[in-house]
Structure 1
Amino acid sequence: MSDQHIDPAGNTQAFRAFANAREQEAAAKPKKSPLVPVIAVVAAIVVVGVVAFLLLQ
């Protein structure tokens, strides 16, 4: 049988603990820099350009 008495303070405390844990986890992760993908795209464009130049000579 289910309990007829629900403790709202317990639920609120559990939610606050969950929310605080998520905030701390998000703050602990380093933010990723878009530098690596940008360099990869530029390098790919340069390679395609060099190959196209060599083929058209």
Structure 2
Amino acid sequence: MTENYTDPSGNTAQFRAFVDAPDSAAAPSPAPSRLPLIAGLGVAVVVVVALVAWLALR
């Protein structure tokens, strides 16, 4: 260990500062892309409209 090591549990103020410190490893991941969902819904709408048109013109 280095000479400058500070135990974060040394007192309450140090522990709170340690807990509240931003941690790059615990950063939230970005939200997944919604593009596949939107594309899938678009394809489904086109299929339903085509099926309704085909049944109406039959």
Normalized against structure 2, the TM-score is what?
Answer: 0.57
Bigger Rg, structure 1 or 2: 2
State, as a whole percentage, how many aligned pairs show the same letter: 21
More helix by share: 1
- Structure 2 gaps of 5+ residues are 1-10
Please give the alpha-carbon distance, in whole angstroms, between the structure 2 residues aligned to 1:32 and 1:46: 25
Aligned length: 47
Q: Relative contact order (alpha carbons < 8 A, sep ≥ 6): 1 or 2 greater?
A: 2
Normalized against structure 1, the TM-score is what?
Answer: 0.58
Output the aligned Cα RMSD. 2.4
- Structure 1 gaps of 5+ residues are 1-6
Please give the alpha-carbon distance, in whole angstroms, between the structure 2 residues aligned to 1:22 and 1:15: 13
